[in-house]
Structure 1
Amino acid sequence: MTLRLLQHRSDHGDRTVIAAQGDTAHVVPGFTSIRALALHAIARKISLSAAVEAAGRGDAIDIVAEFAAGRLLAPIDHEDGAHLLLTGTGLTHLGSAEGRDKMHRAAAAAEKQTDSMRMFLEGLEGGKPAPGETGQQPEWFYKGDGSQLVGPNEPLTMPAFAQDGGEEPELAGIYIIGDDGTPHRLGLALANEFSDHVTERHNYLWLAHSKLRQAALGPELLVGTPPDHIEGSSRILRNGEVIWEKPFLSGEANMSHSFANLEHHHFKYGLFRRAGDVHVHFFGTATLSFSDGIVPEEGDIFEIGAAPFTLPVRNPLKRAQAVPLVVRLL
């Protein structure tokens, strides 16, 4: 059975790591964070699964009840948020170009092919290179540092100036950099990458602005080799009623790029191989409510679920209060 790791915080603030397989889960003794467990495994040159096995079994935990009680955290964090980076790649999934192409086609009506479609087709042709070869580099974007990462059930807060706050159901790779600069993939998490699609639609060169937003992770870290095909559902609830719902596909069988190729083109930059840093890298999606004309409102709840994850990433939408901005000359 697939191993899943979770982070738990009690009502008194005490933290623990939970290991789950199937319907059973238990505390992993001796560790208060998945990051600490990962560093322990790297230092001993063993896998995360082996580190969990060696730690023994603590108390049994009902993760469904703990999720409902709001005691499960994002499955990765860092005590210094500046050392956790949120990044991602787009146009990586089969079908992902359609929505983006619709956004940009009006602005490029005179062209036979938009830049988005051209990038997608290049990825389709060269995004899954043979082992040892370098494939086509993907679109890449930066979302922020650890201060922008929210956990399950926490609000996704768009800035006061945002034109939209829309969901993006996808997988995120969770990484930590070893002392020698080697990136280690800890596993995958279910994610809501969350973007401002209205801003992006205005001009695709504003993609960078649209991505500087919070992002949410589901509570479970899927350890080991992930399945090639992952099928889930993304929906929006308003006042307890589902106003939009759609299935989505992920995993390498449904992508135009391999995980290895996306990882290569992220970690080829030396500044992303700083020892001890944590990276959350979003792998993209092909399913957006925005493409169906949905306009999320404050108070709406985004809910994204997919097997083999057993718990969803579930977050209400919130808008931040405007804060006066003053730049002073010294």
Structure 2
Amino acid sequence: MSLRLLQHRKPSGARSVIATFDDRAAFVPGVETVVALASRAIAAGTDLVGAVAACGAGDAVDLAAEFAAGTIIAPIDHADPAHLVLSGTGLTHLGSAEGRDKMHRAAAAAEAKTDSMRMFLEGVEGGKPVAGQAGQQPEWFYKGDGSQLVAPGAPLTMPAFAQDGGEEPELAGVYLIGPDGTPFRLGICLANEFSDHVTERHNYLWLAHSKLRQAALGPELLVGALPDHVEGMSRIRRGDAVLWEKPFLSGESNMSHSFANLEAHHFKYALFRRPGDIHVHFFGTATLSFSDGVSTQAGDVFEIEAAPFTLPLRNPLARAEAAAVSVQAL
């Protein structure tokens, strides 16, 4: 029995949580947010399945109808967006080095291996340590706080100065830091990490700039054991036509790092173990339309779907208006 959690918001603004077990979906009585439900579970010393059971069964939900009506929002958020951290790791999937290596090889033609390829190979060698041992640390990046998290169906908006707005179909782990500083994994989501690959290609040292972008999570938070194999489809629609599509793989059997190793290297920093904080960590991908020469434009729609998730993640691409920023001396 697989538990998935979704967050629902009525047009009035009233919030609720939906729990789905296999093909049954129902509201969770007395709970407005996934964070509130998880906090109950931690306080009671139980898990999310137990916390849902303790709430009893609520009214049945037609998920497809609610999704079409736009009442399903991101599966996680925080009342104070500054206490939600978006981060990720790259070069974590078998095959993920190929696209990155293409971007950087011209600038490093004299080297036997680019830094990207070296990091990838180090991950292949040491990214899946045995339990209790430290593995090779991955590439890590910061994406922003909760203000950068976009709901399913909402636009992914690139800044006016962006050189590109490109999809990254992957999985993201969602975590709540408990009162004693323990990170609790609530589950995983389908995700579009969304980056500026043209900026990154210009100079690898601009990777940090290229990642300071919005990101979107699929509607469902999958609770429980992490899947070993996920196979899905990533596509871009332009008008009524499919501009590009390609299958993608994730799950630990398709990765050069274990989930546990990626989690260990993120939460080893005390900064990321502040009680009450939420973390959304993107686990990486090996499939990019940019690697196939696709140039996106405002109005394109990103679409990502993969089992065991039952609902797709769709977001149109938009570009923000230029903003004049002036630093004032006090």
TM-score between the two structures when normalised by the length of structure 1: 0.99
Instruction: Give the distance between the partners of 1:58 and 1:258, measured in 2 at CA.
Output: 37
Instruction: Give the distance between the partners of 2:325 and 2:16, measured in 1 at CA.
Output: 39
Which residue pairs with 1:193 in the alignment?
193
Q: Which residue type is aligned with residue 203 of structure 1? A: N
Which residue pairs with 1:152 in the alignment?
152
Instruction: Give the distance between the partners of 1:11 and 1:24, measured in 2 at CA.
Output: 24
Which residue pairs with 1:207 in the alignment?
207
CA deviation after TM superposition for structure 1 residue 216, in Å: 0.1
The answer as to 2:279 corresponding to 1:279 is: yes
Runs of 4+ in 1 over 4 A off after TM superposition: none
Which residue pairs with 1:111 in the alignment?
111
Which residue pairs with 1:53 in the alignment?
53
Q: Which residue type is aligned with residue 215 of structure 1? A: A
Which residue pairs with 1:231 in the alignment?
231
Which residue pairs with 1:309 in the alignment?
309
CA deviation after TM superposition for structure 1 residue 49, in Å: 0.7
Number of residue pairs the alignment of both structures matches = 330
Which residue pairs with 2:299 in the alignment?
299
Q: Is the 8 A contact 1:24 1:62 kept in 2?
A: no
The answer as to 2:242 corresponding to 1:269 is: no
Gaps of 5+ in 2: none
Which residue pairs with 2:21 in the alignment?
21
2:185 match: secondary structure: strand
Which residue pairs with 2:325 in the alignment?
325
Q: Which residue type is aligned with residue 245 of structure 1? A: E
CA deviation after TM superposition for structure 1 residue 2, in Å: 1.1
Which residue pairs with 1:177 in the alignment?
177
Q: Which residue type is aligned with residue 97 of structure 2? A: A
Q: How does 1:9-158 map to 2 (within 5 A)?
A: 9-158=9-158
2:219 match: secondary structure: strand
Instruction: Give the distance between the partners of 1:323 and 1:19, measured in 2 at CA.
Output: 41
Q: Is the 8 A contact 1:235 1:244 kept in 2?
A: yes
CA deviation after TM superposition for structure 1 residue 149, in Å: 0.2
TM-score between the two structures when normalised by the length of structure 2: 0.99
CA deviation after TM superposition for structure 1 residue 240, in Å: 2.1
CA deviation after TM superposition for structure 1 residue 109, in Å: 0.2
C-alpha distance after superposition, 1:193-216 (max 9, x if no partner): 000000000001100000000000
Instruction: Give the distance between the partners of 1:18 and 1:129, measured in 2 at CA.
Output: 37
Instruction: Give the distance between the partners of 1:273 and 1:226, measured in 2 at CA.
Output: 21
Q: Which residue type is aligned with residue 251 of structure 1? A: G
Q: Is the 8 A contact 1:18 1:28 kept in 2?
A: yes
Which residue pairs with 2:290 in the alignment?
290
CA deviation after TM superposition for structure 1 residue 105, in Å: 0.1
The two structures, once aligned, show a CA RMSD in angstroms of 0.5
Percent pairwise identity:
75
Which residue pairs with 1:222 in the alignment?
222
Q: Is the 8 A contact 1:170 1:250 kept in 2?
A: yes
Instruction: Give the distance between the partners of 2:66 and 2:258, measured in 1 at CA.
Output: 34
2:107 match: secondary structure: helix
Which residue pairs with 1:168 in the alignment?
168
